[in-house]
């Protein structure tokens, strides 16, 4: 058989274009282009011409600029660490889960704390009645922390803790629990998230304002550099940005800009950059945009190396970006939930191809409730199968040299760098966050994405296409919040009764004085207080005396959702439905003398407000008058505001499993305050088996993940009409 070599040239490309025209829509090859949410145009065909002038296409892993990975041999010698992010109910139950996970192939512990802990409240505080033990483990003191890590050797097991607001008492509790296990600080390995800037943008589990929060970060970086050399002092997180709606370029740019700000903070404390930079780590979301996620992770390493060279870092470890990754929670659907196993597998492979150092895979039922042991095992085995059965680990950066991937990596880097330069022109990320600009950029991206789904432009299998006629129920995990809280309150009472109260108060006073003066290290002082059995809430209160507690604004973007609907691409049923609903709302306003007025609220300590903000934006674009309640309201406060604002309806957005306690409470409060004509509707992560209980409590509408906003808007309008009839 004879062979003939092929040489690429311009005439070959022209020949391909002529062939492609025959099958391209409308005979236009450009119609095959795909424009990403980041504004990057991805072509259907890439050639050697696309990589001919790229400066980093032929670099090697383990060497600057680390585009192909931070380690020379990557997974060929050591695969990524398998982590299982979990925490629920009590320290005892979470400990049992961790030990089972470690025995079944898990290689590190990743702790999820409940929202009361995140926000610096002890379990007996009146503002957290519906939050204790929900969406994470309740931790009030070092006694809880000791139970959490019982029979888990902290000198051998790496521990990752997602904690930002109450980072001082939680990290101090971990250190003291290890000490009392016989493990010194220098032997501890793991990561504390400690990334407060992103909390002001998206997740909202902050406590103090930005400036004192940055002081806390500097103190933790300083203390761990001196005393905990194996421990990562901060995990700079883009994960929650993407979960809140950011596209990949925004996620990467804002995360790297946050990292740059933290480096400035540590240097301002007098530290040499190479003294701490090697212990900084990152945390990416990995969603369903497969190619972009791989390119994002490669480009991020390139840009971080560039940023650290700007700080005159010399040590190669200071220049390399190391990351944990987690598959997307937002991409999981309530409808046809077993499809989520496939989604998570695809996302996990993107994380691996992108070169992650550790990975958490979400469970398929997390759009419905907390994951069960069954679903967690499938999630963990997804990683084990990729590591053990596919041979993916045998090749280092297998996408290297791909015309498409190398081009896309450079385009992602250029796109993100332009955003970083925009942030720098504002004076850095602290200024960009403080102005509200960064938050609004993410919220606009979220509203645009939701409109694309609701209008059918973006397909979600089982949600807006290929829907099941009937959904079968699946087993879900339910937490008895009252039982957990009662147990925590009892343990708190015992601690307070048996400790030396005078010494505890002296330690708390020392914390307040340090926070006020700026002298001393706050982590060091927190560890001293925790040794004396000061609680999470007490330490947080001591700091709040000096720092105050941050209050977020409730501004929302407008017009973005409608623009995505009205851009001329919508045809058929979705556009007709949208226009008909706008007409119905206008007719209501004519008949009633005012537009239908709704208040969108978040109750308890759940700060995840993507859904609330998107619904508020879309309802306003439809013609509703929309009020946004402040975050962290109690049912009493929410009812009072709803009455004062004379709304027709209150919409409660819930993602942290507090609906069984908090939603009936708001309905009871409205009745108590003489406003039972105000209807209540609920959206978010709610198991189907809880629907009847909520309807019996008086809820008029429940809209789970995947419900098109115009559909929920139509139903809310009809319920308001009924209430007025």
Task: Report the alpha-carbon distance of residue 243 to residue 83 in Å, rounded.
Answer: 19
319 Cβ contact partners less than 8 Å away, ≥ 6 residues apart: 64, 65, 66, 304, 305, 308, 309, 313
Q: 50: alpha, beta or left, given left = phi > 0 and alpha = psi -120 to 50?
A: alpha
Residue 606 designated active-site: yes
Residue 602 designated active-site: yes
Pick the catalytic residue from 131, 606, 609, 625: 606
Three-state DSSP string of 66-101: CCCCCCCCHHHCCCCEEEEEECCECHHHHHHHHHHH
What pairs with residue 85 in β-bridges?
Answer: 110
Task: Report the alpha-carbon distance of residue 245 to residue 237 in Å, rounded.
Answer: 14
Pick the catalytic residue from 56, 75, 85, 403: 85
Using CB atoms within 10 A of its CB, is residue 227 exposed (0-12), middle (13-18) or buried (19+)? middle
Pick the catalytic residue from 240, 260, 324, 659: 240
- Closest among 346, 343, 254, 339 to 296, alpha carbons compared: 254
Q: What's the CA dihedral at 388, 391, 394, 398 to 10 degrees?
A: -130
Are the C-beta atoms of residues 138 and 488 closer than 8 Å to each other? yes
Task: Report the alpha-carbon distance of residue 184 to residue 572 in Å, rounded.
Answer: 66
Are the C-beta atoms of residues 443 and 617 closer than 8 Å to each other? yes
Residue 690 designated active-site: no
Token readout for 432 is: 């960009």
Task: Report the alpha-carbon distance of residue 128 to residue 148 in Å, rounded.
Answer: 21
Pick the catalytic residue from 56, 121, 208, 239: 239
Residue 410 CA: distances (Å) to CA of 38, 40, 248, 650: 13, 11, 13, 46
Task: Report the alpha-carbon distance of residue 700 to residue 86 in Å, rounded.
Answer: 33
Residue 239 designated active-site: yes
Pick the catalytic residue from 602, 613, 648, 660: 602
The per-residue b/e assignment along 77-111, b for 16 or more CB within 10 angstroms, e otherwise, is eebbbbbbbbbbbbbebbbebbbebbeeebbbbbb
Q: Is the dihedral of CA 283, 288, 291, 292 positive or negative?
A: negative
Task: Report the alpha-carbon distance of residue 607 to residue 204 in Å, rounded.
Answer: 5
Task: Report the alpha-carbon distance of residue 138 to residue 144 in Å, rounded.
Answer: 8
Are the C-beta atoms of residues 363 and 379 closer than 8 Å to each other? yes
Pick the catalytic residue from 146, 198, 441, 608: 608
Residue 85 designated active-site: yes
Are the C-beta atoms of residues 322 and 281 closer than 8 Å to each other? yes
Q: What's the CA dihedral at 449, 450, 451, 452 to 10 degrees?
A: 50
Residue 28 designated active-site: no
CB atoms within 10 A of CB 721: 15
Token readout for 323 is: 């990351």
**Helices then strands (H, E): number in the chain?**
28, 16
301 Cβ contact partners less than 8 Å away, ≥ 6 residues apart: 65, 66, 67, 69, 70, 320, 321, 355
Q: Catalytic residue positions?
A: 85, 239-240, 602, 606, 608
């Amino acid at each position: 058989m004879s062979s003939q070599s092929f040489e690429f040239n311009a005439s070959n490309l022209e020949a391909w274009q002529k062939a492609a025209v025959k099958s391209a829509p409308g005979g236009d090859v450009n119609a095959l282009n795909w424009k990403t949410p980041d504004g990057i145009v991805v072509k259907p065909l890439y050639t050697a011409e696309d990589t001919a002038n790229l400066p980093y296409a032929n670099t090697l892993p383990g060497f600057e600029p680390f585009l192909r990975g931070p380690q020379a041999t990557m997974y060929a010698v050591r695969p990524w660490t398998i982590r299982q992010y979990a925490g629920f109910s009590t320290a005892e139950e979470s400990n049992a889960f961790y030990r089972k996970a470690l025995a079944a192939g898990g290689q590190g512990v990743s702790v999820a704390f409940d929202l009361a802990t995140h926000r610096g409240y002890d379990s007996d505080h009146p503002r957290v009645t519906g939050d204790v033990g929900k969406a994470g483990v309740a931790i009030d003191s070092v006694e809880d922390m000791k139970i959490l890590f019982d029979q888990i050797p902290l000198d051998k097991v790496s521990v990752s803790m997602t904690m930002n607001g109450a980072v001082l008492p939680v990290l101090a509790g971990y250190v003291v629990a290890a000490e009392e296990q016989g493990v010194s600080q220098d032997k501890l390995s793991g990561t504390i998230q400690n990334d407060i800037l992103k909390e002001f943008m998206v997740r909202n589990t902050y406590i103090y304002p930005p400036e004192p929060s940055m002081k806390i970060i500097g103190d933790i970086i300083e203390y761990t550099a001196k005393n905990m050399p194996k421990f990562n002092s901060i995990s700079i997180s883009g994960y929650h940005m993407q979960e809140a709606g950011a596209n990949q370029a925004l996620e990467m740019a804002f995360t790297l800009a946050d990292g740059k700000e933290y480096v400035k903070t540590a240097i301002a404390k007098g530290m040499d950059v190479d003294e701490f930079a090697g212990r900084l780590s990152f945390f990416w979301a990995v969603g369903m945009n497969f190619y972009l996620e791989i390119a994002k992770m490669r480009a991020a390493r390139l840009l971080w190396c560039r940023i650290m060279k700007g700080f005159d870092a010399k040590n190669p470890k200071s220049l390399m970006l190391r990351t944990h990754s987690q598959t997307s929670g937002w991409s999981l659907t309530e409808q046809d939930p077993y499809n989520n196993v496939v989604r998570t597998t695809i996302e996990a492979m993107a994380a691996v191809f992108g070169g992650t150092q550790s990975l958490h895979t979400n469970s398929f039922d997390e759009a419905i409730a907390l994951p069960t042991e069954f679903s967690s095992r499938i999630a963990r085995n997804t990683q084990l199968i990729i590591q053990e059965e596919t041979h993916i680990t045998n090749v280092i950066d297998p996408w290297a040299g791909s015309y498409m991937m190398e081009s896309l990596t450079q385009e992602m880097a250029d796109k993100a760098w332009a955003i970083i330069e925009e942030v720098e022109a504002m004076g850095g990320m602290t200024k960009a966050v403080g102005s509200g600009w960064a938050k609004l950029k993410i919220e606009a991206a979220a509203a645009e994405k939701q409109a694309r789904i609701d209008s059918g432009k973006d397909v979600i299998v089982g949600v807006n296409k290929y829907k099941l006629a009937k959904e079968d129920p699946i087993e879900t995990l339910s937490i008895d919040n009252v039982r957990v809280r009662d147990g925590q309150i009892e343990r708190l009472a015992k601690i307070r009764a048996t400790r030396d109260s005078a010494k505890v108060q002296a330690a708390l006073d020392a914390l307040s004085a340090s926070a006020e003066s700026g002298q001393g290290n706050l982590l060091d002082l927190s560890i001293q207080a925790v040794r004396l059995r000061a609680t999470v809430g007490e330490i947080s209160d001591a700091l709040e005396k000096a720092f105050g507690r941050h209050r977020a604004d409730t501004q929302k973007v407008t017009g973005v959702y409608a623009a995505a609907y009205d851009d001329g691409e919508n045809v058929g049923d979705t556009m007709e439905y949208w226009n008909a609903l706008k007409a119905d709302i206008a007719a209501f306003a004519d008949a009633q003398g005012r537009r239908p007025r709704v208040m969108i609220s978040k109750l308890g300590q759940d700060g995840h407000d993507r859904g609330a903000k998107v619904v508020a934006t879309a309802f306003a674009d439809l013609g509703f008058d929309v009020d946004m309640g402040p975050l962290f309201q109690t049912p009493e406060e929410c009812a009072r505001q709803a009455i004062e604002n004379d709304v027709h309806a209150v919409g409660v957005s819930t993602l942290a499993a507090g609906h069984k306690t908090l939603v009936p409470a708001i309905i009871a409060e409205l009745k108590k305050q003489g406003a039972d004509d105000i209807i209540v509707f609920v959206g978010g992560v709610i198991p189907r088996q809880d629907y009847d209980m909520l309807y019996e409590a008086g809820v008029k509408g429940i809209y789970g993940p995947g419900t098109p906003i115009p559909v929920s808007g139509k139903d809310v309008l009809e319920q308001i009409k009924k209430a007025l009839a």
